[in-house]
Amino acid sequence: MAQKSTLFPDRRKKRLLIATFFVILIITMMITITAGVYPITVNDVYLTVFQHLGFGNPLGMTNDIVVWEIRIPRVILAALVGAALAISGAVFQGVFRNPLVEPYIMGVSSGAAVGAGIAIMFGFIVISLQCTAFLFGVFAAVLAYSFATIRRETPLVNLILAGIVVNAMFDAGLAILKTIAPYGKLQDLVFWLMGGFGGTKWGDVSSVGVQIFIGVVITSLLGWQLNLLAVGEEDARSLGLHVQRVKAILLGLAIYLTSISVATVGIIAWVGLIMPHISRMIVGPDHRILLPASALIGAIFLVLCDTLARTVMTAEIPISIITSAIGGPYLLYLIRKNRSFYFR
Amino acid sequence: MLLLIGGMCGTIVVADTKTITDMRGKNVTIPANPERVAIMNAGFLAQLTRALGVSDKIKATGGLLFDWEDNEDQNEYIYLNPDFMNLPNIYGWQDPLNAETLAFTNPDLVIWEDTEYTQGAKYKEQNNKDIDTIENTLKVPLVLVKGTGLYGNKDNQATYDTITLMGEIFNTQEKAAEINAEMQKRIAEVEERTKKITPDKQAKVLFLGLTDELPSPAWENNYGDAKFSDNILNVKNVYTDTNTRKISAEHIIKLNPEVIILTSYSKKGLNPDIFKEDDTFKELRNVDAIKNDRVYSVGDMTWIGDYGLDTPMILMTEAKGAYPDLFGDINVRDWSIDYLKKIYGMNDDEATTLYDDIIGMSWTKKKNF
């Protein structure tokens, strides 16, 4: 992968930067919980939070419900899903050594969406909704990779074309689901596919959120193996790395993180593509730093996007509209700026 | 050829055909006694064919008759016309017309209901093409009728006109006039009481299409079950946006309505106690309407604003929910069952089953509403 210019080349400084991103994420979350359609003063928002942490006296019940039951779990889940999608994108880009690959472009998100859609429509659930989405996500990734690989080589153009084909296949599957869905379910299916955190409960945070958190941490700890893969598979083998196993583990984790995110909040496009790029520009290509940086920047990005989604208009805007509005132009900019690399 | 000029407005009878003026203002020559009719609608025409006693003349259906409920046995229109389940579906409206199926049924007439839904930007062009296919390719006469509140009109004139026109088509003018009179009398009963409400006394109402979880769509003043909120119900719709959109729990808490009407879109809306019984919605329990037990449901009576013959029952349910004191002397359940019996010529058991089990208004019995 091309070495991008790095603003912070020193590794110690990079670690400091990770800590800084974490602090920025916390500050972002603390600011965004004060935003919403229900008018609550900033002071009351924090008094409510402190009261739940064991300090101070209870405030009004409505304030408590809005801050503690509605906004906070939503902001936390948005952060976790943002982290999951961004780190998945970074893993895909690292494994395939290709900056244009990410779960959405490879068809994983569409595959997972079809799995979740089938589960919702027909009650066809393998173990759980997330697991069903995961199986379809794996299927999509295997399909794309198989289509793209010729004589043990997987050229960039092949991979992108294969991703387009797989996406088209699963999009057709989604279209069929939409066609046969009764009207009531169709409305839900369409809104769900557009992505959103509208119905988030603490239960979502404790179940899905914990899985995402663990997945993100484990993936971050495997960054050094991605570094070895980045020097080339032959060299990685000569350094003692079991290349196929490592790739399978990393891709499995990335697909799982993407799938449970999609199954929970629908398809949210572009996070997996642009967040790793931004992170790479800031911290460089070292995956030990890049993976946690991507997760944190992805979390910040999605928290901000979700805040826009729930506050810009009186009604909810599907969050994918916002991420696409930002992500699409950014990809165009990226391709135009690095044309010689992408189309060599 | 013997030319008979019909005494009814706009109808000219020529031997085995007659010419009527449909609701586009177009003169359409149709069979004098249509025997093989296809209807395109969301339920209003299905209600009318039963009420007029001509269900046996319907040979194909299209539109959204069967697409709404998962359990088709619970569909009001199937209950009214059980044989419709076995008729060919010609689709149309939100899906392209299946012209071959329509041709196969060999219809002598198509009756097409134009609604707010079909007039929407998303489907209008497709619907116009399908109408053209029926008239100019299949050469089948098509009579266009209109549903309630089309083109932003907040009155029931289109409904009354459609009932009259259907009477002319099927030669059941007398029954059509009875239905119109009954509907108008019932709606006037609501309107006469609510028109006395002054703006400062208007109930603050949220019309909510409750889905499996929030956000769920709120009906703006010109849409669906909120269509008559200002001019007949005389309530204040707390959702003031100009489009019907999904709103969050936080938004509902902010709006804090005195009354919530669960609209026909509500998949969970058959039980007004849903907010207290289902923890999915527990964050709303401090909202005035829920706290004070002022949540009401119109069951499955309407279909995205296509009120049809259910109009009086919907209005009375919403009006009593908003102004319980004003309608304290009316038991909505008895009033509605009596209306169903008169409109459809049903006995007490049939009407009660329709109201309780099919339309989903059994909550009125539990709450003595």
Which of A147-161, A194-208, B153-167 has the weakest average pLDDT? Answer: A147-161
Task: Look at residue B168 and tell me if it is in a domain.
Answer: no
Residue pair B77/B148 in contact (Cβ under 8 Å)? The answer is: no
Residue B350 has pLDDT above 90, yes or no: yes
Q: What is the pLDDT of residue A186?
A: 67
Residue with the bigger pLDDT between B333 and A238: it is B333
Task: Look at residue A118 and tell me if it is in a domain.
Answer: yes
> Are A199 and B68 within 8 A, CB to CB?
no
- The residues of B whose Cβ lies within 8 A of any Cβ of A are 64, 67-70, 94-95, 211-215, 217-218, 241, 243, 245-251, 253-254, 265, 267, 280, 282-283, 286
Residue pair B260/B318 in contact (Cβ under 8 Å)? The answer is: no
Report in angstroms the alpha-carbon separations of A285 from A243, B322, B356: 19, 63, 66
Residue B329 to residue B348: CA distance in whole angstroms: 21
Task: Look at residue A1 and tell me if it is in a domain.
Answer: no
Task: Look at residue B177 and tell me if it is in a domain.
Answer: no
Task: Look at residue A260 and tell me if it is in a domain.
Answer: yes
DSSP-derived pairing of the beta strands B245-247 and B216-218? antiparallel
Report in angstroms the alpha-carbon separations of B77 from A77, A155, A306, B222: 43, 58, 42, 25
Task: Let me know whether B273 and B200 are in one domain.
Answer: yes
Q: What is the pLDDT of residue A192?
A: 64
Task: Look at residue A320 and tell me if it is in a domain.
Answer: yes
CB-based contact, A340 to chain B, within 8 Å? no
Task: Let me know whether B125 and B212 are in one domain.
Answer: no
Q: What is the pLDDT of residue B107?
A: 95
Total number of domains constituting chain A? 1
Query: Which residues of chain A does B98 touch, with a Cβ-Cβ cutoff of 8 Å?
Result: none
Per-residue pLDDT reduced to its tens digit, B244-295 = 788 899 999 999 999 999 987 776 667 899 999 998 898 999 999 999 999 9
Q: Where residue B67 sits, what CATH number does that domain have?
A: 3.40.50.1980
Instruction: Tell me which residue of A303, A277, A341 sits closest to A89, measured CA to CA.
Output: A277
Task: Look at residue A298 and tell me if it is in a domain.
Answer: yes
In total, chain B counts a number of residues equal to 369
Domain range for A278: 11-342
Query: Which residues of chain A does B246 touch, with a Cβ-Cβ cutoff of 8 Å?
Result: 191, 198, 315-316
Query: Among residues of chain B, what percentage have pLDDT more than 70?
Result: 89
Q: Where residue A314 sits, what CATH number does that domain have?
A: 1.10.3470.10
Residue A34 to residue A47: CA distance in whole angstroms: 11
Band the pLDDT of B69: cuts 50, 70, 90: very low
For range B184-208, the mean pLDDT: 95
Residue B342 to residue A13: CA distance in whole angstroms: 82
Angle at A281 between CA A275 and CA A286, to 5 degrees: 90
Task: Let me know whether B350 and B213 are in one domain.
Answer: yes
> Are B246 and A69 within 8 A, CB to CB?
no
Query: Which residues of chain B does A187 touch, with a Cβ-Cβ cutoff of 8 Å?
Result: 211, 217
Q: What is the pLDDT of residue A179?
A: 75
Average pLDDT of the residues of chain B: 88
The residues facing B260 across adjacent strands are B206, B295
Query: Among residues of chain A, what percentage have pLDDT more than 90?
Result: 28
Task: Look at residue A267 and tell me if it is in a domain.
Answer: yes
Q: What is the pLDDT of residue A333?
A: 81
Q: How many CA atoms lie within 13 A of A252 on its CB side?
A: 9
Band the pLDDT of A125: cuts 50, 70, 90: low
Residue B11 has pLDDT above 70, yes or no: no
Task: Let me know whether B138 and B200 are in one domain.
Answer: no
Band the pLDDT of B2: cuts 50, 70, 90: very low
Q: What is the pLDDT of residue B150?
A: 60
Task: Nearest by CB to B253, from A38, A182, A185: name it.
Answer: A38
> Are B64 and A310 within 8 A, CB to CB?
no
Residue B5 has pLDDT above 50, yes or no: no
> Are B245 and A69 within 8 A, CB to CB?
no
Nearest chain A residue to B283 by CA distance is A65
For range B124-130, the mean pLDDT: 85
Instruction: Give the gap in angstroms from C-alpha B257 to the nearest C-alpha of chain A.
Output: 14
Task: Look at residue B235 and tell me if it is in a domain.
Answer: yes
Per-residue pLDDT reduced to its tens digit, A63-75 = 888 999 899 999 9
For range B2-24, the mean pLDDT: 67
Residue B136 to residue A59: CA distance in whole angstroms: 69
Total number of domains constituting chain B? 2
For range A227-249, the mean pLDDT: 84
Residue A20 has pLDDT above 70, yes or no: yes
Task: Let me know whether B106 and B235 are in one domain.
Answer: no
Task: Look at residue B173 and tell me if it is in a domain.
Answer: no
Which of A123-137, B13-27, B137-151, B195-209 has the weakest average pLDDT? Answer: A123-137
Residue with the bigger pLDDT between B131 and A180: it is B131
Any idea what DSSP says for residue B262?
E
Band the pLDDT of B74: cuts 50, 70, 90: low
Band the pLDDT of B339: cuts 50, 70, 90: very high
Per-residue pLDDT reduced to its tens digit, A255-269 = 899 988 888 888 888
Task: Look at residue B160 and tell me if it is in a domain.
Answer: no
Q: What is the pLDDT of residue A116?
A: 81
Task: Look at residue B352 and tell me if it is in a domain.
Answer: yes
Query: Which residues of chain B does A73 touch, with a Cβ-Cβ cutoff of 8 Å?
Result: none
The residues facing B37 across adjacent strands are B58, B109
Burial B190-205 (b: 16+ CB within 10 A, else e): bbebbeebeeeebbbb
Residue A307 to residue A302: CA distance in whole angstroms: 8
Residue with the bigger pLDDT between B3 and B197: it is B197
Best mutation target among A129, A183, A191, A193 (most B Cβ atoms within 10 Å) is: A183
Residue A113 to residue A129: CA distance in whole angstroms: 10
Residue B202 to residue B154: CA distance in whole angstroms: 19
- ipTM for the complex shown: 0.71
SS3 B129: helix
Q: What is the pLDDT of residue B251?
A: 92
For range A54-82, the mean pLDDT: 88
Task: Look at residue A5 and tell me if it is in a domain.
Answer: no
CB-based contact, A64 to chain B, within 8 Å? no
Instruction: Give the gap in angstroms from C-alpha B44 to the nearest C-alpha of chain A.
Output: 17
Look up residue A6 and give its two tokens: 């790095």
Task: Let me know whether B214 and B122 are in one domain.
Answer: no
Q: What is the pLDDT of residue B154?
A: 81
pTM comes to: 0.80
Q: What is the pLDDT of residue A191?
A: 62
Q: Quote the longest CA-to-CA distance of chain A.
A: 68
> Are B246 and A191 within 8 A, CB to CB?
yes
Nearest chain B residue to A196 by CA distance is B215
Residue B166 has pLDDT above 80, yes or no: yes
Band the pLDDT of B303: cuts 50, 70, 90: low
Task: Let me know whether B122 and B214 are in one domain.
Answer: no
Band the pLDDT of B7: cuts 50, 70, 90: very low
Residue A180 to residue A168: CA distance in whole angstroms: 18
Q: Of the ranges A33-42, A186-195, A308-317, B4-13, which is most confident?
A: A33-42
Alpha helices (H) along chain B: 44-51, 76-80, 99-104, 116-119, 124-132, 157-170, 173-194, 249-255, 274-277, 288-291, 311-322, 332-344, 348-353, 363-366
Task: Look at residue A151 and tell me if it is in a domain.
Answer: yes
Band the pLDDT of A1: cuts 50, 70, 90: very low
Task: Let me know whether B116 and B47 are in one domain.
Answer: yes
For range B216-229, the mean pLDDT: 85
Q: What is the pLDDT of residue B15?
A: 62
Task: Look at residue B154 and tell me if it is in a domain.
Answer: no
Band the pLDDT of A112: cuts 50, 70, 90: confident
Q: What is the pLDDT of residue B12?
A: 61
Residue A260 to residue A262: CA distance in whole angstroms: 5
Determine phi and psi for B271, rounding to 5 degrees. Answer: -120, 105
Q: What is the pLDDT of residue B305?
A: 67
Q: What is the pLDDT of residue B35?
A: 96
Q: What is the pLDDT of residue B185?
A: 97
What's the gap between Cα B33 and its chain centre?
Answer: 26
Peptide bond just before B257 cis, omega within 30 deg:
no
Instruction: Give the gap in angstroms from C-alpha B105 to the nearest C-alpha of chain A.
Output: 23
Residue A78 to residue A135: CA distance in whole angstroms: 23
Determine phi and psi for A82, rounding to 5 degrees. Answer: -60, -45
Residue pair B90/B113 in contact (Cβ under 8 Å)? The answer is: no
Residue A334 has pLDDT above 80, yes or no: no
Domain range for B351: 196-366
Task: Let me know whether B124 and B213 are in one domain.
Answer: no
Element (H, E) at A183: helix A183-194
For range B212-230, the mean pLDDT: 84
Residue B31 to residue B19: CA distance in whole angstroms: 8
Q: What is the pLDDT of residue A104?
A: 80
Q: What is the pLDDT of residue A5?
A: 47
Instruction: Give the gap in angstroms from C-alpha B69 to the nearest C-alpha of chain A.
Output: 7
| Beta carbons within 8 Å of B318's beta carbon, 6+ residues apart | B205, B225, B229, B233, B235, B261, B296, B298
Instruction: Give the gap in angstroms from C-alpha A60 to the nearest C-alpha of chain B.
Output: 10
Total beta-carbon pairs less than 8 A apart between chain A and chain B:
79
Q: Is B70 exposed, middle or buried (0-12, 13-18, 19+ CB in 10 A)?
A: exposed
Residue with the bigger pLDDT between A128 and B365: it is B365
CB-based contact, A77 to chain B, within 8 Å? no
Q: What is the pLDDT of residue B191?
A: 95
CB-based contact, A61 to chain B, within 8 Å? yes
Residue B1 has pLDDT above 50, yes or no: no
Task: Let me know whether B138 and B202 are in one domain.
Answer: no
CB-based contact, A36 to chain B, within 8 Å? yes
Task: Let me know whether B124 and B203 are in one domain.
Answer: no
Residue with the bigger pLDDT between B339 and A150: it is B339
